[in-house]
Structure 1
Amino acid sequence: MAGTKMTLRRYGNELIYWNEQEIIVDQAYLDKHEDLYIRLTHPYILGTKMLDVYLNGQHLLVQGGYEEVDENTIRLDLGTYPLEHPLAGQHIPLVIDDEIYIRTWKPEYRQGSGGGIDDLRFKRLEEEVVSARKYTERDVQFHRLDDRLDYIQERAEVKTMVFVLDRIPLGPCKYEMRFPFEGKIREIYASCGVYGTSKSEFSIEKCSQFDYETLPRWTNIFSRNLTIHAGEKSSNTSNLPYVLSDSLIHKNDHFRIYTHVAGEDLRGLTLEIVVTI
């Protein structure tokens, strides 16, 4: 519930070393907490590093993101606006939809063999890292967390335009596709449901958004066109691979297929344009 402090519940036999508190900021909360003081649902011992405080997922440090006031209270310190900001020098407040999460380590784990809470924090971090290196529970984990992050980033940065044509007329295709991002073409691949008994040749034409809305001007992005040879199912096996003359894409560029030669009996063409944004 917005603006409410609550203890997050867990189920099962998991051993929990801390108490949890979450605050989702709404207008009612702002009206009561303009001074950024937070009343904790679980007391702690000052100066013992018993608190982990997060704002919107960012870990705040004591004396660097919050200050300890008493055993039931902390005060957030979110810094001040930079010089170039209209409110330069003023303290940054909370805003609606901010999420505050506070983990209060239980006092019985404050002392212990090997370092107590710090050891438990390290164990928790180690478990999170191991979990983060997996894609799903069934997958073998990545060797390094960086490899996993690179994999995620690549998936997020790669988009694919797909044209699907059952029958393939000569000349420009009547289907035109807009690409709403800036990017660079990294791969083009064509395949067919039924291969042709003679060679097929295609180009891909591009038109800017401005030209598209005024006087469309389509230009071929190949210096050597894409081909599918007779009796073959895809462009991958061509001994004359396509050569790009223009791989850059500007936001809202439009694309279409131009058929120069349609192979006899060729049916079910799929053409993919893979783009890194």
Structure 2
Amino acid sequence: MKSCLPPDPHPIHPNQRLPVGACDAHCHVFGPAAQFPYAPDRSYTPPDAPFERLVALHDFLGASRGVIVQASCHGTDNTAMLDAIARGKGRYRGVAIVDGDITDEQLADLNTRGVRGVRFNFVAHLGGAPDLDVFDRVLERIQQLGWHVVLHLDAQDILQYAERIARIKVPFVIDHMGRVCAEAGLDQEPFHRLLELMRNPLAWVKVCGAERVSAGRRPFDDAVPFARTLIEAAPDRVLWGTDWPHPNISKDMPNDGELVDLLFRFCPDAVLREKLLVTNPARLYGF
């Protein structure tokens, strides 16, 4: 089973301050495994990245809020994420991974405890597409809660699942700029499809995961044109996140302070930055 590198333990001080109310809309907690075991069928084993370290990072970077996204290494056991939300006392919201057997009562309980969406993974190296019947059933049931669905997919999957995505009736969020490949340029077909998708008023996108988009090494500036284009295309439906602690990085581990500096290159306009970091996540996650 593959192991992951730990995050950079020494983030730099960002050159500019995040605005008051800024939200890291994509981060994780992992373990500690002794308290919150990893899923037996996981595709990777991360180093522990507990709640205390996430809070310390957010305090250091100046992020007031965060959205803790359940990752595949914990499977459908959302306990670590729910524990972190509870300990955050209103600072955090969550996105869960659930299966088709979850009851309405369990969904209502997750809602009460701060969950605002579900995540489905389509990425091949993390197990590939979910059971699409389960996908359809879960989306139908979360609609009454006002939740959204997060779609973790590779760029080519936007083409493969275009018809199914078009049928979604709840807000849906595309992770990591659709994991497009920066070296293929802005004119690549998957990115054109992603931009077309953003015309759908239910579509949101996270301009994060620059290290997954980039063809190079830190500070991942080749991701900037993609993020800027997406922000301009849908300024009211974009989100940003660190993706801390950066699981499954095979190239160059990001420095989270540098990612904040990169964010300011993504979005040099202060008005758009306020939407990206404060207004949009507050609206979607109910802060």
TM-score (norm 1): 0.24
TM-score (norm 2): 0.23
Work out which structure has the larger RCO, using CA pairs closer than 8 Å and 6 or more positions apart in sequence: 2
> 1 or 2, which has the higher strand percentage?
1
Q: Which has the larger radius of gyration?
A: 1
